[in-house]
Structure 1
Amino acid sequence: MRLVILGGGESGVGTAILGKKKGYEVFVSDFGKIKGNYKEILLLNGISWEEEKHTEELILNAAVVMKSPGIPDKSPIVKKLQERGIPVISEIEFAAPFTKAIIIGITGSNGKTTTTMLTHHLLKSAGLNVGLGGNIGKSFAWQIADNKYDSYVLELSSFQLDGIINFKPHIAIITNISPDHLDRYEYKYENYIDSKFRLTMNQTEDDYLIYDADDEAISNWFKTHTTKAKLIPFSLTKIFSEGAYIKNNKMEIKISQEEFTMDTDHIALEGKHNMKNAMAATSVAKLMQIRKATIRESLSNFQGVEHRLEKVLKIQNVQYINDSKATNVNATFFALDSMNTPTVWIVGGVDKGNDYNELMSLVREKVKAIICLGVDNKKIIDVFGNVVDMMIEVSTMNDAVQMAQRLTEKGDSVLLSPACASFDLFENYEDRGNQFKQAVKNL
């Protein structure tokens, strides 16, 4: 069986290693350059590869093709494979049949990384033998090749879900849905929503779907679609006989006749959106029968996620906050909503079809100055130019941070929450966040 892998990054190399171990004839093809450390691993494992091209005669003879999530469906080589009826799947679809572990799959436009990390933290703290993968950390396929975990917590993007056929998590979470990546979905929001709900399409009556009952897109989907999975909703405003909710500053979770309560003041994560992430993760912990005392302790000591509302430093009584992971408007909405001091907001990057008007009321209320850090800032300037007293364009992170320092007074905050992708000026959102942190330390 010939397995061809498009993309020689983390998921591609992980799939190659698992494929080789399972007896496939493996070939890796990357249209860009393959990083040195990945090349070494491919060579060590005797896996053939090519870079900076896709050689059709070496690809179109595949029995199955694993496509890395970054490669769009409309790329010419993918179209040719589809025309020939060769299955093009994602890493999780390829890898899942090779493990008997319990799979917890988490998707959503925002909050999925925090929810994934928190869920993993809850299960690991309880002593479970649990892996963390998908969109973060080590490749899921690679872990299956190397390790014997009893369960996996996977963060799954819509691109990974587009490439599944039979993949089925035992527990699925949809944190929320807001317009994102619409450039990959013909600019149709409903296509993106359907993509997220692929997470539950193969679930049975023995499986669970945990979801945000306050989310409009999710509620609308349920009006015209169904899933066989048992439903566990969570909400900040509604109360359920089966599900998770907040009542009198307490998080309450009721699942199969069992109850769990905890004061929200004792939960380490701050902000309304994080209460939802905590409810989703705790629902998993309850389904996995983790002791209440362990859950309480884990929720109170969780450190949060790097580049997500990460407090960097306080300088001259000004708090600098790194929210580089906010790559869409909805994520930035949560960030601005959680600010309770006058804020200098650093925003901008590659716009994925953003509607900035959704932020208007928060900007009016909380933002004293805007620093645009992007190659093309026209849309941001058009929307907010008359709303804030000060609007400045810069092209480097150092300039952004130094300018922010000049515009702040004691008691203010500086928030990097770009609402955009980072690829115009940075390698990725981590690079952007790390440059911000370094620039703040250099002040």
Structure 2
Amino acid sequence: MERLVILGGGESGVGTALLGKQKGYDVFVSDQSAIKTKYKAVLVENEIAFEENGHSEEKIMSANLVMKSPGIPDSAPLVQALLTKGISVISEIEFAARYTKASIVGVTGSNGKTTTTLLCHHILKAANLSVGAAGNIGDSFAQQVAENKYDVYVLELSSFQLDGIVKFAPHIAIITNISPDHLDRYDYDYKKYIASKFRITENQTEEDYLIYDADDIAIKEWLENNKTKAKRVPFSLEQKLENGAFLNGDTIEIHLNTEEFKMSTTNLTLKGKHNIKNAMASAMAAQLLKVRKQTIKESMSSFEGAEHRLETVQKVREVLYINDSKATNVNATFYALECMDNPTVWIVGGVDKGNDYTDLLPLVREKVKAIVCLGVDNQKIISTFNNVVDVIVETAGAEEAVKVAAKIASKGDSVLLSPACASFDLFDNYEDRGRQFKKAVRTLL
């Protein structure tokens, strides 16, 4: 019996454990920290061996195959020891894909992954396809495969998950955009991060499709210098394309496999130029999966968007509060500020991942009346914007940030939480940050 060792007892780890046991592996789960009660209960119920609060090296080194959670870097000494011994270390995505014949739409990119994944899933569901969403969102992909749930999966894929693939090949790959992010995991080498994203297409064949942003410099340069076997399907806001999706005035036009599709952007529930691109990518994926044009149009105008991504919380005393906690890098915040029509009090800050805020200066100059810092170390933000914005206030929690923003904001203004940073200095994760922000807004009433 082959031994499958799983590093990390979270969503992907426990899902993989269930699928591994079903496929006849001797499964062992090991977590450096405490395993959450709900995941522990699943392991106990399914009689899967596990350990927490530390790794037993001898138990791990006896593995034939190791699945590591995306949060563990390749540089971790334990991972390096496994690789040196010649033991294969893969991601949940690689493991689960080996056991499903489902058609896979894989979505990656620095920003827009979640929105595009959810929108794509929304359209396919409306078309009555048997479709699941997984990867970075929802229930674990491996668990869904174990339960033999769906004919199609839309997977949100981070670069960390793609780093752990060997043969994984989605039928349709989508790269929404690429901008510097997580460079701390890639030796601060942007090229390594770009290469990681493009792993999504490395195993695709001539029967598969790569949907990508033709306006994105990093994507364009990679495609000029590297090959993919997949059929290339671009989308653009800047150029008219013979094959692909583009913007003609206020109309999205798609030319794909001799078919034509047109839809007014005024019918999109999602606002902002970046969401027009997300809509183009989702619509083309749906068309390639033979979804009717009418279904695509109807789905686009009924989609509600992702939580913590430009999410309207509510109006309080004629000030609109917007939760964009999922904006954990500068590019995501750029999109958010671009969407602001009213004078904006901008709540920003957290764990800086090597951010360069200079790209934001023109938008901040034009739209931001005050900055509320929400982080332990705000020096970089203050020094970048103190000549552009008159009011900059430092705060140490969501509740304080919201109270300060409410005092500064006037009737008709917006208060935007778009941190451009990771959340780990003051919060568990970006969801925790977003929920605390929303709770604080509701206490203003």
1:357 maps to 2:370 = no
- Which residue number corresponds to residue 21 of structure 1? 22
- Which residue number corresponds to residue 310 of structure 1? 311
Per-residue deviation, 1:427: 0.5
Q: Alignment partner of 2:389: what SS?
A: coil
Q: Alignment partner of 2:301: what SS?
A: helix
Q: Deviation per CA, 1:386-419, whole angstroms, max 9, x where unpaired? A: 2101000000111100000000111100000000
- Which residue number corresponds to residue 109 of structure 2? 108
Aligned partners of 1:301 and 1:26: how far apart in 2? 43
Q: Deviation per CA, 1:26-61, whole angstroms, max 9, x where unpaired? A: 000000110001001000001000011110000011
Name the amino acid aligned to 1:273: H
- Which residue number corresponds to residue 422 of structure 1? 423
Q: Alignment partner of 2:27: what SS?
A: strand
CA RMSD of superposed structures (Å) = 0.5
1:218 maps to 2:219 = yes
Aligned partners of 1:180 and 1:228: how far apart in 2? 27
Q: Deviation per CA, 1:46-83, whole angstroms, max 9, x where unpaired? A: 10000111100000110000010001111111111011
- Which residue number corresponds to residue 375 of structure 1? 376
Q: Alignment partner of 1:265: what SS?
A: helix
Paired residues for 1:376-391 under 5 Å? 376-391=377-392
Aligned partners of 1:374 and 1:364: how far apart in 2? 22
Aligned partners of 2:407 and 2:207: how far apart in 1? 58
- Which residue number corresponds to residue 161 of structure 2? 160
1:82 maps to 2:95 = no
Per-residue deviation, 1:147: 2.8
Stretches of structure 2 lacking an aligned partner (at least 5 in a row): none
Paired residues for 1:248-397 under 5 Å? 248-397=249-398
Aligned partners of 1:193 and 1:317: how far apart in 2? 43
Stretches (4+) displaced over 2 A? none
Q: Alignment partner of 1:281: what SS?
A: helix
Could you tell me the TM-score, scaled by structure 2's length? 0.99
Aligned partners of 2:407 and 2:91: how far apart in 1? 47
Paired residues for 1:40-55 under 5 Å? 40-55=41-56
- Which residue number corresponds to residue 67 of structure 1? 68
Q: Alignment partner of 2:116: what SS?
A: helix
- Which residue number corresponds to residue 151 of structure 2? 150
Aligned partners of 1:163 and 1:208: how far apart in 2? 21
Could you tell me the TM-score, scaled by structure 1's length? 0.99
- Which residue number corresponds to residue 433 of structure 1? 434
Q: Deviation per CA, 1:314-349, whole angstroms, max 9, x where unpaired? A: 111110000000000000000001101100000000
1:33 maps to 2:68 = no
Aligned partners of 1:322 and 1:119: how far apart in 2? 22
Paired residues for 1:182-221 under 5 Å? 182-221=183-222
Per-residue deviation, 1:223: 1.5
Identity within the alignment, %: 66
- Which residue number corresponds to residue 403 of structure 2? 402
Aligned partners of 2:348 and 2:181: how far apart in 1? 17
Q: Alignment partner of 1:15: what SS?
A: helix
Aligned partners of 2:264 and 2:107: how far apart in 1? 25
Per-residue deviation, 1:148: 2.9
Aligned length: 443
Aligned partners of 1:34 and 1:179: how far apart in 2? 32
Aligned partners of 2:376 and 2:264: how far apart in 1? 45
Aligned partners of 1:153 and 1:123: how far apart in 2? 9
Aligned partners of 2:282 and 2:268: how far apart in 1? 12
Per-residue deviation, 1:155: 0.2
Name the amino acid aligned to 2:11: E
- Which residue number corresponds to residue 244 of structure 1? 245
- Which residue number corresponds to residue 91 of structure 1? 92
Per-residue deviation, 1:292: 1.1
Per-residue deviation, 1:293: 1.0
Aligned partners of 1:215 and 1:268: how far apart in 2? 24
Stretches of structure 1 lacking an aligned partner (at least 5 in a row): none
Q: Alignment partner of 1:98: what SS?
A: coil
Aligned partners of 1:231 and 1:239: how far apart in 2? 15
Per-residue deviation, 1:7: 0.2
Aligned partners of 1:177 and 1:207: how far apart in 2? 21
Aligned partners of 1:104 and 1:311: how far apart in 2? 29
Q: Deviation per CA, 1:329-376, whole angstroms, max 9, x where unpaired? A: 000000001101100000000000000111011111100100001011
Aligned partners of 2:328 and 2:397: how far apart in 1? 18
